[in-house]
Amino acid sequence: MNFEDTQKEAAFRAEARAWLEANVPKESEMAGLDEVGRAKFWQKRKSDGGWACLTWPKQFGGRGASTIEQVIFNQEEAKFETPYMGSYFSIGQGMAAPTIMTYGSAEMQAKYLPKLASGEEIWCQLFSEPSAGSDLAALRTRAEKDGDDWIINGQKVWTTVAQYASYAILVTRTDPNVPKHKGMTYFCVDMKSPGIEVRPIKQMSGGSSFNEVYLTDVRIPDNMRLGDVGQGWRVALTTLMNERASIGGGSAGANFKSVKELAERLTIDDKPAIEDSTVRAKLASWYVEEAGLKYTEMRTLTALSRGDEPGPESSIGKLVAGVKGQDMASFAIDLLEQQGIQWDPEQDELEDAVFVSNFMSLPGLRIAGGTDEIMLNIIAERVLGLPPEPRVDKTIPFSDVPTGV
């Protein structure tokens, strides 16, 4: 057990650091570019230098590096000021790409993966639907065969970066007369296809990270299919396993450090709030969670570096971080008293805006990518092996499943 690099790792770290020092973009190089433009600029440069998607095979735009090397590169990159990457590439690189690597033809892999790695093409994910959220397999978007093509009709929702996306991964229902998990088929789709309309969804936090995507008689050639007809659920599970690994417990915002600093600035009964025992006890419990997640990640990395696959236990991160973040934000607002509710999304210079901003956005983290309740189910059933609940919808034809309408 140690935190030092091996000789090989140290060499790799030095190489990465040297490249970063020379190549992290200067402000002047990106003048005039908007957020997505800057993200693409940086991704392209990493790709040109051989530092994109490190663990992918070289022919797909990667470097054939190990997981640990990817981690080392990330650690080094985090030490620099680099453009904000948001979710522009994480869905394409983190979810679509592994699925294409597993189920795509050689042609598809050659066509899509290098442009995913270089950031030239952004992908989005057309999975959730208004009546298929936690129960994703209840999706109703129809795909019907028409010669060599499929005709798609339906509505998708909670689609991030849809407005920037060149392509999407899409799950559809091709046979409503068999049980729900057996009648689905998985496609890649060109987002410029006629019949695709993207509409932003405004969130309660004021932002619009998500979209609705309407699909009306959208035509997809059969060679864009991933996996067999009717195998869509199985293909989607590959995607989802990678989703869970990629939604981290990100403890930006209301975290131990920021709330502790707040408590050092404020006073309670004329003493620094950090001396107050409630503040200390709560901060300590949150620290235990934060540190626990951090060291759990280190254990996972160690396992990955030994060749283990990421497992369902990564559901812990989002579950713990969501509740913790919401409660910390709420606690910080309370510490600020009346003034704590101030929030001007357009004037971020307010030094405590991070707490209200978190307070308003974290309810979303507890839902997106699987609700707390779904995460607990996953841990109970897939990690602990507890038996599933009786299901009324698994064996009957999808069209007979009760929907309440």
Pick the closest to residue 258 from 179, 338, 357, 162 (CA basis): 357
Contact criterion met (CB below 8 Å) for 185 and 232: yes
Among its own copies, other proteins, none, the one that 349 touches (CB under a kind-dependent 5 to 8 A) is none
Beta-sheet pairing, 123-126 with 167-173: parallel
Q: Pick the stretch among 37-45, 147-155, 271-279, 321-329 that binds its own copies (CB under 8 A).
A: 271-279
**Binding status of residue 198 toward its own copies by CB under 8 A:** no
Pick the closest to residue 49 from 73, 29, 83 (CA basis): 73
**Residue 339 C-beta: closest distance to its own copies, Å:** 20
Contact criterion met (CB below 8 Å) for 230 and 175: yes
Q: Pick the stretch among 15-23, 56-64, 223-231, 379-387 that binds other proteins (CB under 8 A).
A: 379-387
Choosing from 51, 103, 127, 158, the residue that interacts with other proteins (CB under 8 A) is 158
Q: Pick the stretch among 23-31, 58-66, 303-311, 387-395 that binds its own copies (CB under 8 A).
A: 387-395
The letter for the amino acid at 281 is A
**Binding status of residue 292 toward other proteins by CB under 8 A:** yes
**Binding status of residue 286 toward its own copies by CB under 8 A:** no
Catalytic residue among 243, 297, 309, 337: 243
**Binding status of residue 1 toward its own copies by CB under 8 A:** no
Reported for 374-377, long-range contacts at CB under 8 A and 24+ positions apart, including other chains, are 374/134, 375/315, 375/316, 375/318, 375/319, 376/319
The residue among 147 and 404 lying less far from other proteins, judged by its C-beta, is: 404
Choosing from 86, 108, 301, 310, the residue that interacts with other proteins (CB under 8 A) is 301
**Binding status of residue 359 toward other proteins by CB under 8 A:** yes
Q: From CA 405, how far away is CA 399, in angstroms rounded?
A: 12
Residue 118: CB partners within 8 Å, gap ≥ 6?
Answer: 43, 44, 47, 48, 52, 61
Q: Hey, which residues between 218 and 277 contact other proteins (CB under 8 A)?
A: 256, 260, 266-270, 273-274, 277
Q: From CA 375, how far away is CA 363, in angstroms rounded?
A: 15
**Catalytic residue at 264?**
no
Choosing from 14, 18, 252, 281, the residue that interacts with its own copies (CB under 8 A) is 281
Q: Which residue has the tokens 């409503």?
A: 176
DSSP 10-51: HHHHHHHHHHHHHHSPPGGGGTT--HHHHHHHHHHHHHHHT-
The residue among 170 and 283 lying less far from its own copies, judged by its C-beta, is: 283
The letter for the amino acid at 211 is N
Contact criterion met (CB below 8 Å) for 352 and 336: yes
Choosing from 268, 303, 323, 368, the residue that interacts with its own copies (CB under 8 A) is 268
Among other proteins, its own copies, none, the one that 386 touches (CB under a kind-dependent 5 to 8 A) is other proteins
Residue 149: helix, strand or coil by DSSP? strand
Among its own copies, other proteins, none, the one that 241 touches (CB under a kind-dependent 5 to 8 A) is none
Q: Pick the stretch among 78-86, 92-100, 228-236, 351-359 that binds other proteins (CB under 8 A).
A: 351-359
Q: From CA 108, how far away is CA 223, in angstroms rounded?
A: 9
Q: Which residue has the tokens 């915002």?
A: 253
Choosing from 66, 246, 342, 399, the residue that interacts with other proteins (CB under 8 A) is 342
Q: Pick the stretch among 49-57, 144-152, 220-228, 280-288 that binds other proteins (CB under 8 A).
A: 280-288
Q: Hey, which residues between 303 and 322 contact other proteins (CB under 8 A)?
A: 303, 305-306, 313, 316, 319-320
**Binding status of residue 277 toward its own copies by CB under 8 A:** yes
Among its own copies, other proteins, none, the one that 284 touches (CB under a kind-dependent 5 to 8 A) is other proteins
Q: How far does Cα 210 stand from its chain's mean position?
A: 12
Q: Hey, which residues between 4 and 43 contact its own copies (CB under 8 A)?
A: none
Contact criterion met (CB below 8 Å) for 207 and 134: no
The residue among 309 and 389 lying less far from its own copies, judged by its C-beta, is: 389
